[in-house]
Amino acid sequence: MNVAVLNSTFSDVGPELSDDEHLLFFSSARPGGAGDNDIYVSHRADRKDDFSWEVPERLGTDVNTAAAENMGDYLRGNIYFNRQPLAGTGDLYYAPVTRDGQTLGPAVLIVELSDPVANDVSPTVRFDEREIFFASNRAGSIGLNDIWMSTRRSPNDAWSTPENVGAVNSVFGELTPSLSPDGRILLFDSDRPAGVGGRDIYMSTRTPSGKEAP
């Protein structure tokens, strides 16, 4: 089912639904943005009506800049995303938003997770905001891009030094990790051999000792 009001003739990607299912955030390359790719939000009054979405609105300059902003995740009133400048490497940010999707101040660089000489993209956060996964080509990666993770004691604490997830990665490229609500299942895409297409979706299940290989 194509939700026509949300789509354009340009690239519209990375949809993330708010906890109450009344807001949908996504990235779009449609004209009129601040940069090559901006984050938009759409509202609906009835969360059971998939046809009640309103025309998307671009988030303000607290989030969108002349760089490209790529939506990652939404959780508990925060959006997590990647900002990719015209020159240089991409970093991870978060920004608080209201229940109606309005920003509450400038986006904050997540310094502990952002490598100054690598691209850090596609953040996904566990339900309690104490664990985050993202893709990066930083030093220590096995392939072109690997899945990395970090933890913290509480949502108010700093993130730990990121660690390579290990078994889920290959010598090829892993991107767009997505964590299940209970934190047990990790989905991601990879261009490793033996897939059906150019990039396929893989699943890894958490075990007491870490992650199973996909």
What is the per-residue pLDDT across 56-98, written as a single tens digit (0 to 9) for each?
999 999 999 999 999 999 999 999 999 999 888 999 999 999 9
Supply the CATH classification number for the domain 112-214.
Answer: 2.120.10.30
| 134, 73, 95, 118: CA torsion to nearest 10 | 20
Residue stretches of the chain with pLDDT short of 50:
none
List the domain boundaries for the chain. 1-109, 112-214
Bridge partners for 134 per DSSP:
148
**What type of residue is 41?**
V
Six token digits for residue 59: 């988030």
Q: Quick one: pLDDT at residue 211?
A: 52
